[in-house]
Amino acid sequence: MKRLAGACLVLLLWLAPAAWAADDLEIADFVGHFAGAGVANSKDAVNLGFTIRDLGVVVEKTEDGFSVVWTTVIRGESGPDGAKPEVRRTSSEARFVRGDNPRFFRSVTRNDPTGAGGYAWASLEGRTLTIYLLVINPENGSYDLHSYARTMVDDRQMELKFSRISSGRPRVIVEGDLTRQ
């Protein structure tokens, strides 16, 4: 009985990498237009009433990589007097080409950490495409590091986890769900 259990364990360990490899997605799996909503979790967002965000992501395959456009609409809460809530809209885009590692991409449009677009790179691991954006303030050396982890739950659903760290301090985390349009 011990031999059988040991043989089953060896077989499971041998098959496990094959099962994980089957779960590795490619850029083509992320291509499309996704829309949804997210919630910000930070003291500032809660205090200022800016917790709900509308999210949009468009991923397109290119000859040597991919491009991505992401849009966030942040809505404030209505004031006690019924005043119309403040709305802020931001949109960003970047184009990436495959690096030496087929799961790593470098940006050809955002490659100056002290420039307006910052420095971006992307990695693909399992079912998650993560885009990193580093922006350095050339006047004082402070920095912002953003990460956008987009995980495909299935063919239609994407989960987003965005985080921003400013000079080593966590500032905001946004988690949301998007649906392929």
Number of domains in the chain: 1
In the prediction, which pLDDT does 67 show? Answer: 98
In the prediction, which pLDDT does 43 show? Answer: 62
> What is the rounded distance in angstroms from the CA atom of residue 111 to the CA atom of residue 62?
18
Q: How confident is the model at residue 83 (pLDDT cuts 50, 70, 90)?
A: low
Model confidence, pTM: 0.80
Residue 60 has pLDDT above 60, yes or no: yes
**Region of residue 9 (left: phi > 0; alpha: psi -120 to 50; beta: else):** alpha
Q: Sign of the CA dihedral 153, 104, 130, 95? A: negative
In the prediction, which pLDDT does 42 show? Answer: 66
Tell me if 32 is assigned to some domain.
yes
Closest-CA residue to 49 (of 23, 80, 21): 80
40 within 8 A of 51, measured Cβ to Cβ: yes
Domain hosting 113: range is 25-180
Tell me if 7 is assigned to some domain.
no
Tell me if 130 is assigned to some domain.
yes
Q: Which one-letter amino acid corresponds to residue 124?
A: L
CATH code: domain of residue 145 = 2.40.128.20
Residue 136 has pLDDT above 50, yes or no: yes
Residue 15 has pLDDT above 80, yes or no: no
Tell me if 11 is assigned to some domain.
no
In the prediction, which pLDDT does 48 show? Answer: 46
Interval 17-45 mean pLDDT = 79
Tell me if 1 is assigned to some domain.
no
> 22-45 burial, b if ≥16 CB within 10 A, otherwise e?
eeeeebeebebebebebebebeeb
Contacting residues for 180 by C-beta, under 8 A, at least 6 apart: 32, 33, 34, 155, 156, 157, 158
Contacting residues for 83 by C-beta, under 8 A, at least 6 apart: none
Tell me if 30 is assigned to some domain.
yes
Tell me if 18 is assigned to some domain.
no
